[in-house]
Amino acid sequence: MIRIKPRLTSLRLLLAATVLAVTAIATAQQPAATLNWKDADIRQVVEAVSAVTGKNFILDPRVTGRVTLLSPTPLGPDALYEAFLSILQVHGYVAIDSGDLVKIIPDATARQFPSQMGTAGAAGPDDLATQVVQLQNVGATQLVPILRPLIPQYGHLVAHSGSNMLIISDRAANVQRMLSIIRRIDQASDEDIEVVPLQHASASEIVRIMTALTQTPRSDGAPVTTSLVADARTNSVLIGGDRSERLRLRTLIAHLDTPLDAGGDTQVRYLRYADAEELATKLQEHFNGQAQAATGGGQAAGAGAQREVSVWADTQTNAIVVNAPPKLMRSLMQIVDKLDIRRAQVLVEAIIVEIIADKKNELGASVAIEGSGSNTPIGVTNFPDFLSGVVQIGAAAGGGATDPSGLIGQGVTIGVGRISEDGVSFAAILRALEGDADTNIISTPSVVTTDNEEATLNVGQEVPFVTGSFTNTGSTAGAVNPFQTIQRQQIGVKLAITPQINDGNSIVLNISQEISNIAQSAAGAVDLITNQRIVETTVIVDDGEILVLGGLLEDVLRESDQKVPVLGSIPLVGNLFRARKTEKVKTNLMIFIRPTILRDAATTAIETNQKYNMMRDLQIGQQGTNIQLMPGVERTVLPPLEELREDKTEGPQ
Query: Whole-angstrom Cα distance, residue 161 to residue 138?
Result: 11
- 627-639 confidence digits (pLDDT tens): 777 777 778 888 8
pLDDT of residue 545: 92
Angle between helices 276-295 and 299-308 in degrees, nearest 10 = 130
* Mean pLDDT value of segment 557-585: 80
pLDDT over 80 at 564, yes or no: no
Angle between helices 203-214 and 243-256 in degrees, nearest 10 = 130
- 565-574 confidence digits (pLDDT tens): 877 778 877 7
Q: β-strand 236-241 against 227-231: which pairing, if any?
A: antiparallel
Within 10 angstroms of residue 261's Cβ, the number of other Cβ atoms is 5
Query: Whole-angstrom Cα distance, residue 89 to residue 82?
Result: 11
Sheet holding 128-134, edge to edge: 116-117, 128-134, 165-171, 156-160
CA distances for 181 relative to 132, 150, 185, angstroms? 14, 10, 6
Average pLDDT, the chain: 75
Tell me what percent of the chain is helix, strand and coil, each rounded to the nearest 5: 30, 40, 30
Range of lowest pLDDT (18-27, 185-194, 399-408, 579-588)? 18-27
Query: Whole-angstrom Cα distance, residue 356 to residue 551?
Result: 13
Sheet holding 265-270, edge to edge: 265-270, 319-324, 310-314
Range of lowest pLDDT (274-278, 533-537, 592-596, 647-651)? 647-651
Within 10 angstroms of residue 117's Cβ, the number of other Cβ atoms is 11
Query: Whole-angstrom Cα distance, residue 534 to residue 552?
Result: 11
* Mean pLDDT value of segment 257-274: 76
Stretch (H or E) spanning 93: strand 93-98
Stretch (H or E) spanning 456: strand 455-470
Predicted confidence band at 15 (pLDDT cuts at 50, 70, 90)?
very low
The answer for 349, left when phi > 0, alpha when psi is -120 to 50, beta otherwise, is: beta
pLDDT of residue 63: 80
CA distances for 119 relative to 122, 551, 601, 626, angstroms? 5, 83, 59, 88
Residue 620 CA, distance from chain mean position: 29
pLDDT over 90 at 347, yes or no: yes
Angle between helices 42-53 and 77-90 in degrees, nearest 10 = 160
When comparing pLDDT for 304 and 214, which is higher? 214
Range of lowest pLDDT (306-315, 388-397, 432-441)? 388-397
pLDDT of residue 433: 76
Q: 644, 646, 645, 640: which is closest to 617 by C-alpha?
A: 640
pLDDT of residue 17: 44
Stretch (H or E) spanning 87: helix 77-90
The answer for 327, left when phi > 0, alpha when psi is -120 to 50, beta otherwise, is: alpha
Predicted confidence band at 473 (pLDDT cuts at 50, 70, 90)?
low
- 495-514 confidence digits (pLDDT tens): 899 999 988 889 999 999 88
pLDDT over 80 at 391, yes or no: no
* Mean pLDDT value of segment 545-559: 86
CA distances for 147 relative to 129, 360, 556, angstroms? 17, 93, 89
What is the DSSP secondary-structure string of 122-154?
Answer: TS-TTSEEEEEEE-SSS-HHHHHHHHGGGS-TT
Stretch (H or E) spanning 618: helix 601-621
User: Is 136 exposed, middle or buried (CB count within 10 Å of its CB: 0-12, 13-18, 19+)?
Assistant: exposed
Q: β-strand 227-231 against 425-443: which pairing, if any?
A: unpaired
pLDDT of residue 13: 37
Backbone angles phi, psi at 473, to 5 degrees: -75, -15
- 106-127 confidence digits (pLDDT tens): 766 665 555 554 444 445 666 7
pLDDT of residue 307: 58
When comparing pLDDT for 111 and 81, which is higher? 81
Range of lowest pLDDT (23-32, 42-51, 220-229)? 23-32
* Mean pLDDT value of segment 229-235: 83
Query: Whole-angstrom Cα distance, residue 68 to residue 2?
Result: 8
* Mean pLDDT value of segment 33-45: 74
Query: Whole-angstrom Cα distance, residue 167 to residue 155?
Result: 11
pLDDT of residue 295: 60
Highest mean pLDDT among 205-209, 382-386, 538-542: 538-542
Query: Whole-angstrom Cα distance, residue 62 to residue 83?
Result: 21
Stretch (H or E) spanning 69: strand 65-69
Range of lowest pLDDT (99-108, 410-419, 493-502)? 410-419
Predicted confidence band at 376 (pLDDT cuts at 50, 70, 90)?
low
Q: Where are any strands of DSSP class E within 528-601?
A: 529-542, 547-563, 578-598
pLDDT of residue 3: 41
pLDDT over 70 at 47, yes or no: yes
What percent of the chain is predicted at pLDDT more than 90?
7
pLDDT of residue 82: 75
When comparing pLDDT for 15 and 291, which is higher? 291
Angle between helices 11-28 and 42-53 in degrees, nearest 10 = 10
